[in-house]
A and B are shown apart, each in its own frame.
Chain A
């Protein structure tokens, strides 16, 4: 049975049928639906989009034995061909500029363009990381000002700025814990991680040399405090708690968790991916957190660029601050700013655990995040959290009659609304809803995560969606959910209207083709 929406649109049956008016075109394009070959199929080795004069001299004799036998086999394109190639490709992408990106726990909010403009000022974009300090005082001041915002917003003692992304920040926090334990002369090798945690948490703990033990959730979707206490002991280095958690819920016993962990000699790592729900409203430092990374893209609007770059500064408690990695920036009592690296770590910073990256971290993201913070101010950031939570609760209450919301009975959610696929027609699941949303013109929510809920659908709208926009999304989600409840077979072959139909992921993994070899003899 097919649903017909208000606009009279009817999804195709069975997926194989095309709308009657769609016939094969000679080009393979359909109006503004454009196909695009690979750059290698378009380019030629005698084409170049950059004018470069011939060198004024031959290679030095010393270099002759190292010279390349042939130029790299990379076809080039002229500038007009290049612009067209990438512009045509760009139209095959969904993006926050086109509609909401409601990926719970990942998500993107609007990326303000002032951030982009500021990051491109030559004084930030065109400075080298190893210039003499006197020639980069403004850059160091950006780092110091951003650090000041982050420590005040979180109520923490200090912040390590160099980690390159959230997972790298997790690693930084755990290495601070390792270093603090070493300084105490203790070897604790277990980190406790809730079942609902992001995959990066256990992966990071293992990467940092810890054993991972899981802690269960309560029926209300929170960390089971008693189960956690039962696991604490002299071998537990710490816990990794996501708060607000990946079920979209605040951990009301966070302080009790922290107190119990501290009493047992451990440290509390908080995964700050969801800090956007509480920024300006709650300071993690008041809840006993020892370390927390902040995903600048998620809370502070830096672009995600189809997979990064991220930035993962880690705020630290008094207990962990002395172990922060090099390099870092400090402000002296006289207000002067100093860069601390291997050359001058001296007595004051002798306990730093070392270095995580070649240079200073994601400067280009720091300028964007600071621009965003200054724009919102302390008052605006508070409103950011409130609107984000309001939008998520609006989606939760508008859909909970149709899609089971496992934790909605107990109260409001925070930044994201969690649904399950229980109650759909036989043979229908979360995947069908996700792919059906694509035909509706929306990016799907996070699916099958967190693992603690069967067929989880995690919707995080963010504060930059309007009410009208949310109403459109809700109408689409409800329509697709109805179709899945009514056993609309066309969902199994959705999406029907995207640049590609469902892609064969099994084939891709069984016989990996990771590079183009179309020109091989």
Chain B
């Protein structure tokens, strides 16, 4: 077999060295009745590279990939152009096939990348510091809530109505088990997010308030006002950014008073990948560093005084603190962090600003064209690259009918909020630098056809 270097002669020689008659003798600790006599039932036998490729290619061909049709989905995962060099870097064996940098003297490549990544995330978010990544945005969000509870020693969390419902579900699921008190504000179809409702929900017992920016409907909350109100009550503000490209154009949450900023980094370098692996971003104030979850890379010097990098403050972590750790996270999203970092290095701050401006311009073109269709109207007062359109009927059916016409025309609010009947005419539409005028026109024509 092509992945197994031992030959039959090797195996025989090694068994002799070991002093075993057969390989089965090495499995003596397994009770005889639990040992399988042959290959597991119901599974195919080994296959050549060519045969496997044929099987997998056939499966891939059953999907409609985003790049092959007019495509307007967002809602926490965005299709951006990833420069070709990003994938070449992450496929270098020294990065791809390295393990967690437990031996820093021979892992400076990975460690320096993590240090650069942490710096990039902190500057993008406007936070003092950032960690070396989490699984994804939704899990980073829950970890931020736990961290805020440790810092404030309070246990009530307010989720704004603009939080992505999947993120909210993750939080509510976890909180049921940890018995944290979660207040979920309703999501309403209004042109601006209900910041007043968020502020009114913050009490003296509130540990944190979670605000998505831009929010799940594409609206932009007034983070500065919410931060002022939270500070007055001793609560921390957790800003959630599901589209980091937005921060090339709109102000960084940390600069508006957010104490912890978490996000989904998939937009830069990672790609859609049907939802994973993605990249959890996590930044915060420096004074909270010892309450942070996840790995941290820090600068130091070696025995000759040369600058070098190590994983640090590991006394927060599970392999040292066991049941007293700040989190159980071990493996994070290292390779996705590398992809994000390479993409952002290629862009630089000015390039990101330009990319963001183009995204916003493409979204304006999309929204203007679609809202000219009779019965279609724009909800948002402001938006970045994603906005909510109100359709004359349930958007779930419209999305399905558009797909039959080979247009992937956004995410219906019914899919995201199945229990909120009042939202079901809402259609979330995203555009990026990949959206062409022809895409917009095709979408508009087919939407007109579906609604006619």
Contact = CB atoms under 8 A, between A and B. Distances in A.
Contacts of A83: 85, 88-89
B110 A125 contact: no
A281 B29 CA distance: 12
B371 interface: no
A153 to B, nearest CB: 6
Contacts of A20: none
Nearest to B256: A66
Contact of B273 (A62, A164, A200, A364): A364
10 contacts: A38-B115, A72-B252, A75-B349, A103-B102, A152-B43, A168-B329, A358-B76, A364-B273, A466-B5, A499-B106
Nearest to B129: A514
Nearest to A165: B331
A374 B100 CA distance: 27
A59 B39 contact: no
A499 B17 contact: no
A48 B350 contact: yes
Contacts of A370: 56
B139 interface: yes
Interface stretch (A5-13, A260-268, A376-384): A376-384
Contact of B94 (A45, A91, A106): A91
A513 B298 contact: yes
A374 B47 contact: yes
Contact of A209 (B179, B274, B304): B179
A87 interface: yes
A377 B328 contact: no
Chain A interface residue bracket vs B: 35 or more
Contacts of B341: 39
Interface in A32-73: 36, 38-40, 43-50, 52-57, 59-60, 62-63, 66-69, 71-73
A406 to B, nearest CB: 16
A71 B352 contact: yes
Contact of A167 (B36, B61, B328): B328
Interface in B29-79: 29-31, 33-36, 38-47, 49, 51-53, 55-68, 71, 73, 75-77, 79
A493 B169 CA distance: 51
Contacts of B337: 307
Interface stretch (B6-14, B202-210, B438-446): B6-14
A456 interface: no
Contact of B350 (A71, A389, A465): A71
A11 to B, nearest CB: 15
B384 A63 contact: yes
A175 interface: yes
Interface stretch (B148-156, B182-190, B227-235, B306-314): B306-314
A89 B109 contact: yes
A252 B310 CA distance: 40
A110 B365 CA distance: 48
A93 B106 contact: yes
A231 interface: no
A390 B6 contact: yes
Interface string A317-360: 00000000110000000000000001110000000011111111
A278 B324 CA distance: 32
A283 B40 CA distance: 9
A383 B3 CA distance: 11
Nearest to B382: A62
A63 B350 CA distance: 19
The 7 closest A-B pairs by CB, nearest first: A76-B348, A359-B275, A305-B335, A123-B60, A354-B173, A307-B334, A138-B62
B296 A203 contact: no
Given A62-B381, A412-B25, 13 more contacts: A52-B351, A59-B357, A96-B99, A101-B99, A127-B273, A128-B66, A153-B43, A199-B318, A286-B33, A309-B331, A359-B76, A363-B277, A507-B300
A320 B215 CA distance: 36
A3 interface: no
Given A127-B63, A378-B40, A512-B312, A305 B18 contact: no
Given A93-B108, A380-B46, A358 B289 contact: no
Contacts of B317: 199
B303 A167 contact: no
Given A36-B112, A394-B17, A354 B172 contact: yes
Interface string A209-244: 100100000000000000000000000000000000
B360 A166 contact: no
A263 B40 CA distance: 29
A305 to B, nearest CB: 3
A178 interface: yes
Given A168-B139, A203-B323, A307-B132, A76 B349 contact: yes
Interface string A487-521: 00000010100111111110111001111100000
A414 B15 CA distance: 14
A63 B415 contact: no
Interface string B86-110: 0111111111111111111111111
Interface in A267-309: 278, 280-283, 286-287, 297, 301, 303-309
A134 to B, nearest CB: 6
A66 B251 contact: yes
A354 B76 CA distance: 19
Contacts of B26: 386, 389-390, 393, 412, 414
Contact of A170 (B325, B328, B382): B328
Interface string B161-182: 0001111011011101111000
B39 A378 contact: yes
Contacts of B328: 167, 170-171, 200, 203-204, 206-207
B449 interface: no
Interface string B272-310: 111111100000000001000001111111111010111
Contacts of B68: 122
Contacts of B278: 358-359
Nearest to A15: B303
A360 B274 contact: yes
B399 A360 contact: no
Nearest to A374: B52
Contact of A126 (B250, B271, B323): B271
Among B75, B88, B272, B296, max chain A CB count under 10 A is at B272
A157 interface: no
A92 interface: yes
Contacts of B174: 356
Among B53, B347, B349, B353, max chain A CB count under 10 A is at B349
